[in-house]
């Protein structure tokens, strides 16, 4: 009776963690004993659908592989690129044990585990892809980011429009499992045609915003020290324009100035392209909250790249690489902020907490295990 009362309270507080048919009632189905961990796991049967679910506590890792508190500190270190061999040296077990535990992060839905209410789905996204390798062969990692969290990460073999559409489709499917009518307002990308075509295919009405920072970086890299300050001052003045008309005017004048005063052909070429692509920057003015640069995805992909470099990229198969990049993404979303940051703002516990405004448990690993109920999906 006490357990039924506990489940009723939990459903009232956090209905997103339970099946949709839970409100129609359930019966206790059976129980089984874990000899390894010496605990009893209860199972319930839904009256409406007849489905059976296990009620697994967050103090046990999936598949009864370990107690959560016993492995939490070791898994925390993985965000810093600590190799599995080092975990074995400090915490014992074996490398395959820690590898399999880490892959648990990549199996649930990234969107469903990270975003716990449809209204929290971000309207403004940033997307990009990075090249990597599996067994020495190239592959690409399409990555979707918003609100400081990874919302999509997978791998595809080539960076053409068809494969990138398939890659970003994974994010679209997971988002629509949370909200069937989900349609992002804008997505900021670099100027790669295949990326923009993929997003236009998946979300026909989305506003595509071209990243301004990429043009600035190209100009910076082609500038000699003598003119770099003047060029960058002028180009950032374009970015600071407060209207479409002002932006277009400043871009045109910058292009004219570049042709007249700059002597480096590659530099003039980039300045001319900036002027020609004005129409791709202007959609940001229709949506003040839209991202105008790719800084957010760049920061998170730098973290992703550090992890991949530390493990010398992928060594087995495309599918294992896919689960690994998803695990890296989810680990970021749930990792606890440093004590210094929390000292300045005690309410900020993790990227997950920033996005949702709450956390299920003060311990980051318990928080992930609870949030990943039913694989992050509400069935």
Closest by alpha carbon to 18, among 58, 46, 42, 39? 46
Residues 161-176: tens digit of each pLDDT: 999 999 999 999 999 9
The strand pairing partners of 137, in sequence order, are: 134
Lookup result for tokens 């068809």: 162
Bridging pattern class, strands 124-134 and 186-189: parallel
Tell me the chain's radius of gyration from C-alpha atoms: 24
Residues 293-352: tens digit of each pLDDT: 999 999 999 999 999 988 889 988 899 999 999 999 999 999 999 888 777 777 789 999
Residue 111 burial by Cβ neighbours in a 10 Å radius (0-12, 13-18, 19+): buried
Residues 207-225: tens digit of each pLDDT: 999 999 999 999 998 887 7
Taking residue 304's Cβ as centre, other Cβ atoms within 10 Å add up to 21
The confidence band for 35, taking pLDDT boundaries of 50, 70 and 90, is: confident
pLDDT at 319: 92
Strand runs (DSSP E) across 108-252, as ranges? 124-134, 137-146, 149-153, 186-189, 207-210
Dist CA 291 CA 305 (whole Å): 22
Bridging pattern class, strands 124-134 and 137-146: antiparallel
Helix (H) or strand (E) holding 167: helix 161-178
Dist CA 101 CA 327 (whole Å): 10
Q: What is the pTM of this model?
A: 0.93
Mean pLDDT for all residues in the chain = 93
pLDDT at 262: 86
Taking residue 69's Cβ as centre, other Cβ atoms within 10 Å add up to 11
The strand pairing partners of 133, in sequence order, are: 138
Dist CA 104 CA 288 (whole Å): 38
Closest by alpha carbon to 294, among 184, 202, 210, 176? 210
Answer for the pair 151, 326: CB distance below 8 angstroms, yes or no: no
Dist CA 158 CA 42 (whole Å): 46
pLDDT at 345: 76
The confidence band for 159, taking pLDDT boundaries of 50, 70 and 90, is: very high
Handedness of CA 340, 110, 184, 303 (dihedral sign): positive
What is the longest distance spanned by two Cα atoms in the chain? 83
Answer for the pair 60, 39: CB distance below 8 angstroms, yes or no: yes
pLDDT at 289: 94
Of 75-79, 82-86, 185-189, 310-314, give the lowest mean pLDDT range.
310-314
Residue 277 burial by Cβ neighbours in a 10 Å radius (0-12, 13-18, 19+): middle
pLDDT at 2: 86
Taking residue 91's Cβ as centre, other Cβ atoms within 10 Å add up to 15
pLDDT at 1: 74
Q: Which residue has the higher pLDDT, 159 or 348?
A: 159
């Amino acid at each position: 009776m006490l357990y039924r009362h506990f489940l009723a309270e939990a459903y009232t507080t956090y209905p997103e963690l339970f099946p949709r048919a839970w409100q129609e009632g359930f019966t206790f189905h059976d129980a089984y004993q874990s000899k390894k961990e010496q605990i009893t796991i209860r199972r319930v049967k839904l009256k409406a659908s007849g489905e059976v679910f296990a009620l697994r506590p967050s103090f046990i890792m999936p598949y009864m592989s370990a107690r959560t508190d016993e492995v939490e500190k070791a898994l925390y270190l993985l965000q810093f690129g600590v190799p599995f061999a080092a975990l074995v040296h400090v915490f014992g077990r074996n490398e395959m044990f820690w590898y399999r535990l880490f892959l648990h992060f990549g199996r649930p839905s990234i969107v469903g585990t990270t975003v716990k209410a449809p209204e929290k789905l971000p309207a403004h996204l940033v997307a990009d892809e990075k090249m990597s390798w599996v067994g020495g062969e190239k592959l690409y990692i399409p990555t979707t980011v918003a609100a400081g969290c990874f919302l999509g990460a997978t791998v595809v073999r080539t960076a053409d429009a068809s494969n990138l559409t398939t890659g970003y489709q994974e994010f679209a499917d997971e988002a629509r499992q949370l909200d069937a009518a989900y349609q992002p307002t804008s997505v900021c990308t670099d100027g790669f045609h295949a990326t923009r075509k993929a997003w236009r295919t998946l979300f026909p009405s989305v506003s595509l915003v071209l990243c301004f920072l990429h043009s600035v970086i190209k100009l910076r890299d082609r500038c000699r020290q003598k003119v770099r300050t003047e060029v960058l001052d002028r180009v950032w003045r374009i970015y600071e324009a407060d209207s479409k008309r002002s932006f277009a005017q400043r871009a045109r004048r910058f292009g004219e100035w570049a042709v007249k005063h700059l002597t480096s052909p590659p530099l003039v070429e980039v300045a001319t392209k900036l002027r020609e692509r004005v129409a791709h920057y202007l959609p940001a003015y229709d949506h003040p909250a839209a991202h105008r640069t790719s800084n957010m995805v760049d920061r998170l992909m730098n973290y992703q790249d550090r992890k991949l470099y530390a493990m010398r990229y992928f060594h087995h198969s495309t599918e294992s690489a896919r689960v690994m990049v998803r695990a890296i993404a989810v680990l970021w979303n749930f990792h606890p902020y440093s004590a210094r940051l929390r000292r300045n703002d005690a309410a900020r516990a993790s990227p997950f907490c920033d996005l949702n405004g709450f956390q299920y448990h003060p311990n980051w690993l318990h928080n992930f295990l609870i949030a990943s109920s039913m694989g992050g999906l509400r069935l």
